[in-house]
Amino acid sequence: MSATPLILLVEDDRLLRQAFRLLLEDAGYRVREAGSGGEALRAAEEGPAAIVLDLGLPDRPGLEVCRALREHPATRHSVIIALTGRAGAAERRACLEAGCTLYFAKPIEPRELLRRLSGLVP
């Protein structure tokens, strides 16, 4: 029997983070929360299968956090799903170049996030 995948949820908005946590837990994932980039990098030690990463973090740029997660041995191969309030080709390209697996502009349809995540993290 395989272990339940761990998802690191990085979102500075407490209410949005809580809503995403409930959504992910209801889908059967274990969830570790972080409200800042620094918290996310500390939580990376747990080696999550996937990271849902808000790019508008209060302490450091989300793309910088993404690059650091890609360099971290425990998250080098984790799926990283970027969430951002900015849409556009340049933002998408920057996300992918920083190491994000997927990119979503907010507002995001929660079921779409789950569908895409389940395709990457069984």
Which tokens sit at 48? 């999550």
- Residue 49 lies inside a defined structural domain of this protein: yes
The domain spanning residue 107 has which CATH number?
3.40.50.2300
- What's 2's DSSP letter? P
Which tokens sit at 83? 């969430």
- Residue 1 lies inside a defined structural domain of this protein: no
- Residue 19 lies inside a defined structural domain of this protein: yes
User: Residue-wise over 51-79: b if at least 16 C-beta within 10 A, else e?
Assistant: bbbbbebeeeebbebbebbeeeeebeebb
Sorted by sequence, the CB contacts under 8 Å of residue 34 that are 6+ apart come out as 8, 9, 10, 11, 40, 42, 43
Going residue by residue through the chain, which has 122 residues, state the pLDDT in tens, using 9 for 90 and above: 358 999 999 999 999 999 999 999 999 999 999 999 999 999 999 999 999 999 999 999 999 999 999 999 999 999 999 998 887 888 889 999 999 999 998 888 888 999 999 989 87
State which H helix or E strand residue 37 sits in: helix 37-43
Q: Residue 12: which domain range?
A: 6-120
Is the pTM above the cut of 0.85?
yes
